[in-house]
Amino acid sequence: MQGVEIDDKHVEVMVRQMLRKVRIIEAGDTKLLPGSLVDIHNFTDANRDAFKERKRPATAKPVLLGITKASLETESFLSAASFQETTRVTYRCCN
């Protein structure tokens, strides 16, 4: 990588961000939409609630996002805006 060494902890953070989204296959009895891309924590929470209410959980498959896409898909507006495509991120936030 252009002669720059990256510490393992930074690689771990990048990989975690790249793997934090899932694509909903079936919504079950949750409020998730089939085909939507959601954070793994939101998916887990929705399924936990479904299990508590004895309803059908959602099913999903993991999605590997590229570094740029993962950075832009973060829930933090400042993080996404400071990475790239500032105009698009700002427009998406405000509309």
Write down the domain spans for the chain: 7-64, 67-94
Please give the Cα distance from 35 to 60 (Å, whole number): 9
More confident residue, 27 or 91: 27
Classify each residue of 10-43 as buried b or exposed e, where b means 16 or more C-beta atoms within 10 Å of its C-beta.
eeeeeeebbebbbebeebbebebeeeeebeeebb
Look up the pTM and report it. 0.65
pLDDT of residue 81: 58
pLDDT of residue 76: 60
Residues of the chain above pLDDT 70, percent: 67
Range with the lowest mean pLDDT among 43-47, 54-58, 86-90? Answer: 86-90
For residue 67 the two structure tokens come to 């570094």
pLDDT digits (tens, 9 = 90+) for 65-92: 776 676 666 666 565 555 555 566 555 6
Please give the Cα distance from 16 to 94 (Å, whole number): 27
Residue range 7-64, CATH number: 1.10.1790.20
